[in-house]
């Protein structure tokens, strides 16, 4: 008997940043729900798998069908509460039916790599959102932005320049925790000229 959905933050991607608490919950799963990359991280486990594709409704239906009788674990990148599935799950299930295991957010690892404190940072996601949501935050620093392949660092640089923002440093943190990790330090002009990329966090500062 279960009746609780375990929502597990996996961190930025590498197992080095997976917490022991998260690993323990995942290894006890009977049903694993997550994107392809998250499921691949646990390819050795015998749990049944539900892959989340673009259609979140299908994943919710699959969870609803089995969480009362099986141990269902939902895998998310970074931390579940930061621009992730927790908001969606709360719309469909009451909080007492959710257990949340925090994970290290890509934003946390970005600030750690940059050796910058983030106590006064403004955090925004452009993942699937319009560039214009940056408008109220043009004078907030540090400004940390989740990107996606459409709203990529170059698009953000071009947008900030078009809004008259100048004299800023831009740090682009791509593929954090993976062997392909890259940290690029440049200015807005340099960022605007970059090729489009995915899986990146941008941090804008005024120094």
Ligand X SMILES: C[S@@+](CC[C@H](N)C(=O)[O-])C[C@H]1O[C@@H](n2cnc3c(N)ncnc32)[C@H](O)[C@@H]1O
Euclidean distance between the first and the last CA atom of the chain, given in angstroms as a whole number: 55
Give, in degrees to the nearest 5, the angle at Cα 156 between 160 and 132.
Answer: 70
What φ, ψ does residue 123 adopt, rounded to 5°? Answer: -115, 130
Judged by CB under 6 A, does residue 111 bind ligand X? no
Q: Are 162 and 188 in contact (CB under 8 A)?
A: no
Stretch that binds ligand X, among 21-29, 42-50, 92-100, 199-207 (CB under 6 A): 199-207
Chosen residue from 78, 142, 153, 157 binding ligand X by CB under 6 A: 78
Q: Among all chains, which residue has been given the structure tokens 């299930």?
A: 93
Please give the C-alpha separations between residue 45 and each of 23, 30, 52, 115, 155, in angstroms, as whole numbers: 11, 9, 18, 36, 40
* Position among 70, 127, 129, 140 found at the interface with ligand X (CB under 6 A): 127
Specify whether the CB–CB gap between 122 and 98 falls below 8 A.
no
Is 97 near ligand X (CB under 6 A)?
no
Closest to ligand X by CB, 66 vs 123, is 123
- Of 29-37, 65-73, 111-119, 173-181, the window that binds ligand X (rule: CB under 6 A) is 173-181
Single out the segment in contact with ligand X by CB under 6 A; choices: 44-52, 113-121, 153-161, 170-178: 170-178
Q: Would you count residue 154 as binding ligand X (CB under 6 A)?
A: no
Binding site for ligand X (CB under 6 A): 12-13, 76-79, 82-84, 105-107, 127, 146-148, 173-177, 199-201
């Amino acid at each position: 008997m279960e009746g609780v959905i375990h929502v597990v933050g996996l961190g930025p991607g590498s197992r080095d940043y997976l917490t022991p608490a998260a690993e323990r919950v995942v290894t006890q799963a009977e049903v694993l729900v997550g994107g392809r990359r998250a499921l691949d991280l646990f390819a050795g486990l015998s749990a049944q798998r539900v892959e989340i594709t673009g259609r979140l409704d299908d994943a919710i239906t699959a969870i609803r069908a089995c969480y009362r009788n099986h141990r269902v674990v939902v895998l998310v990148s970074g931390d579940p509460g930061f621009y992730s599935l927790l908001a969606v799950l709360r719309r469909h299930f009451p909080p007492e039916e959710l257990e949340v295991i925090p994970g290290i957010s890509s934003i946390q690892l970005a600030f750690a790599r940059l050796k910058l404190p983030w106590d006064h940072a403004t955090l925004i996601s452009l993942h699937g959102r319009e560039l214009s949501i940056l408008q109220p935050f043009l004078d907030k620093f540090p400004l940390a932005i989740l990107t996606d392949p459409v709203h990529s660092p170059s698009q953000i640089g071009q947008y900030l320049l078009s809004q008259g923002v100048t004299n800023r440093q831009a740090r682009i943190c791509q593929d954090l925790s993976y062997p392909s990790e890259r940290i690029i330090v440049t200015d807005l002009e340099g960022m605007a000229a970059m090729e489009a990329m995915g899986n990146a966090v941008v941090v804008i500062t005024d120094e």
